[in-house]
Amino acid sequence: MKPELRSQVEARLRRAAGQVAGIQRMVEADRYCVDVLLQIAAARAALDQVGKLVLGAHVESCVAEAFASGQPAERERKVAELLEVFTRFGAVARAEAQDDERS
């Protein structure tokens, strides 16, 4: 990962960690449930943004290198890896959409 991207990711993760700590304090203080839920949604969104940054970096570096290598086995591994990542991200997005529909 490039140093400037690493700095961005680290800063966003620190912010997300602060949000999670704030959520914990809200629960301990018995704050209004909807306020807690809104903060949870904000923390999830912050982590999603970190995930997008890391995924983009992975595609631009590791995946691009695998395709440029001319090695079919390496390309196949990276494609399988990406499909797994997209499946997991998709499962999270679907679960969140279902939760939204229930609300």
User: Which CATH number covers residue 17?
Assistant: 1.20.58.1000
Residue 89 · residue 45 · CB < 8 Å: no
Q: Which residues contact 1 (CB under 8 A, 6 or more apart)?
A: 9, 54, 57, 61
Q: In one letter, which amino acid is 9? A: V
Q: Domain residues for 96? A: 3-102
Average pLDDT taken over every residue of the chain = 90
What share of the chain has pLDDT > 70, as a percent?
88
Which of 40, 47, 37 is closest to 16 using CA atoms? 47
pLDDT at 18 (0 to 100): 97
pLDDT at 16 (0 to 100): 97
Complete DSSP assignment for 29-57: TT--HHHHHHHHHHHHHHHHHHHHHHHHH
pLDDT digits (tens, 9 = 90+) for 28-37: 999 999 999 9
pLDDT digits (tens, 9 = 90+) for 60-100: 998 999 999 989 999 999 999 999 988 887 766 666 666 66
Greatest Cα pair distance in the chain: 58
The C-alpha atoms of residue 59 and residue 66 are separated, in whole angstroms, by: 10
Tally the domains of the chain: 1
pLDDT at 88 (0 to 100): 86
